Amino acid sequence: MTHESFDVVIVGAAVVGSAAAHFLTAAGGRRVLLLERDPSYSTCATGRSLASIRHQFSVAENIRMSRFGTEFLRRPEALAVDGEVPAIGLREDGYLFLTSAAGREQLARNHALQRAEGADIAWLEPDALADRFPWLATHDLAAGTLGLRGEGWIDAHALMHGLRRKAVAQGAVLRHAEVARLVREGGRVVAVELADGSRIGCGWVVNAAGTGATALARSAGIALPVQSRKRCVFHFRSPAVLPRCPLVIEPSGLYFRPEGAGFLAGLAPPEHDDPECFDFDVPANLFEDTIWPRLAARVPGFEAVRLVSSWAGHYDVNLLDHNVILGPHPEVPNLLFANGFSGHGVQQAPAVGRALAEWVGHGRYTSLDLGAFGWARVLEGRPLRELNVV
Ligand SMILES: Cc1cc2nc3c(=O)[nH]c(=O)nc-3n(C[C@H](O)[C@H](O)[C@H](O)COP(=O)(O)OP(=O)(O)OC[C@H]3O[C@@H](n4cnc5c(N)ncnc54)[C@H](O)[C@@H]3O)c2cc1C
């Protein structure tokens, strides 16, 4: 039986659900409920992410979303509650994409698009790379692109908690409960059913459940092509000193960036060895056998490193094209999706939260047109493929 109802019910209160709640309540006029099954937020992707933001994408809409993300992150005071400003701590130290000869043309195409979109990205030939980053091995590199402004990293926990706290201060209701299923009647979701069997009526539902989104969609009869894929992060220290070190992505896909007195690093597994996965085990010897040799080959100073800790998290991978699936499903127009971020959801949360609030308020996107990320491409099998997936 349905006892109560809300205009908008958001399932999942990590960074995306909280961003949606923030923008919806900032717009006002609607009762918003945030439902979250894990009050510790200890296993959600948001809490395990690298929390970095870049403008170096190959799809224009991704660049636009992250450019808005940077603007938003530069003004944490907009999320102040009772005078307390969340310590989001944006550091604009940039991303450095490196390429061998094989990838030079694609990097040049990406760079041209990024510049046309207004992103401040510099093209660096190998000599310029060696001058600027004397600690980097450049013998096998054909070029690099470096974000001069707007790219860097934050504290993702501070962003997530700051968005949620602000949403609640603006009137959102936060409840810790698991949504067992969506109750669909014809072309509408009429209620969410909680694990205890109770139901809450809804005008709109936002699926912001991360890797839980596929099961939730299935309960409403919708096949969401999103799977959970494990990604591991390693925290290490080294006596090496790397002045002006950005987040470096080298041609093999290995990445590293500074974190406090040490560094974080990781590498996506090869496509043929990247199964759907829900465990949090870090494979034994992955650091020693695979990560460290590549680190030392790219930065000779990393011959000496000490592993401090490691963890695994899950990407919600969109199997079609590695981009978010955003907005209503045509068969169920009051069910809104924000899933399949494939590793770039923290930085896109502000733009996506704003877009969802616009959709609920106006039935269309009024600032950034994100229609390209809608269900149409999924249902028609027309990938909008992002080439820069880290
Ligand atoms: C190792 C790693 C590194 C990453 N690095 C970056 C990066 O540098 N930059 C970047 O932008 N992104 C990065 N990402 C991706 C980013 O973390 C995610 O895209 C983003 O956090 C997704 O946010 P979300 O709110 O959609 O999902 P999540 O953070 O996964 O949250 C989903 C929430 O929904 C809740 N939930 C699920 N099902 C239910 C249910 N049935 N009922 C109630 N609650 C439910 C869960 O408990 C969870 O709290 C990284 C991810 C990983 C794993």
Nearest ligand 1 atom to the CA of 348 is 11
| Cβ–ligand 1 contact at 12 (below 6 Å) | yes
d(CA 358, CA 57): 24
Q: What is the pLDDT of residue 2?
A: 56
Q: Is 255 in the pocket of ligand 1 (CB under 6 A)?
A: no
Question: Are 272 and 229 contacting, i.e. CB atoms less than 8 angstroms apart?
Answer: no
Ligand 1: which of 344, 348, 373, 388 to mutate, judged by most atoms within 8 Å of the beta carbon? Answer: 344
Instruction: Judge contact between 245 and 301, C-beta under 8 A.
Output: no
Q: Where are the domains of the chain?
A: 2-80+155-225+320-379, 95-149+230-315
For ligand 1, pick from 10, 16, 18, 49 the residue to mutate: most ligand atoms within 8 Å of CB.
49
CB-ligand 1 contact for 248 (6 Å cutoff): no
Q: Is the CB of 267 under 6 A from ligand 1?
A: no
Helix (H) or strand (E) holding 152: strand 152-153
Nearest Cα residue to atom 37 of ligand 1 = 209
CATH code for 95-149+230-315? 3.30.9.10
Ligand 1 centroid vs 264 CA: distance in angstroms? 19
Burial class (CB in 10 A: 0-12, 13-18, 19+), 99: buried
Q: How does pLDDT run across 353-390, given as a tens digit for each residue? A: 999 999 999 999 999 999 999 999 999 999 999 888 88
User: Which residues of the chain are under the pLDDT cut of 50?
Assistant: none
How many CA atoms lie within 13 Å of 23's alpha carbon, on the beta-carbon side? 22
Tokens of 272: 């043929």
Give 264-289 pLDDT, tens digit per residue.
999 999 989 999 999 999 999 999 99
> CA 285, CA 304: separation in Å to the nearest integer?
17
Q: Are 97 and 257 in contact (CB under 8 A)?
A: no
Beta bridge partners of 52: 153
Ligand 1 closest atom vs CA 16: 25
The reply to whether ligand 1 has any atom less than 6 angstroms from the CB of 193 is no
pLDDT value for 390 = 85
Q: Is 155 within 8 Å of 87 (Cβ atoms)?
A: yes
For residues 355 and 366, give the distance between their C-alpha atoms in angstroms, rounded to a whole number. Answer: 8
Predicted pLDDT of residue 231: 98
Closest-CA residue to 349 (of 324, 371, 377): 324
Whether this model's pTM surpasses 0.85: yes
Atom of ligand 1 at shortest range from CA of 347: 11
- Sequence-distant (6+) residues with CB within 8 A of 213 are 12, 207, 224, 226, 316, 337, 339, 340
Q: Of 316, 165, 151, which Cα lies nearest the Cα of 230? A: 316
pLDDT of 1: 57
**CATH, domain 2-80+155-225+320-379, list 3.30.1490.20, 3.20.20.20, 3.50.50.60, 3.40.640.10:** 3.50.50.60
Question: Does residue 17's CB lie within 6 angstroms of at least one atom of ligand 1?
Answer: yes
Ligand 1 atom showing the smallest separation from residue 338 Cα = 26
Task: Tell me the helix, strand and coil percentages in the chain, rounded to 5.
Answer: 35, 30, 35
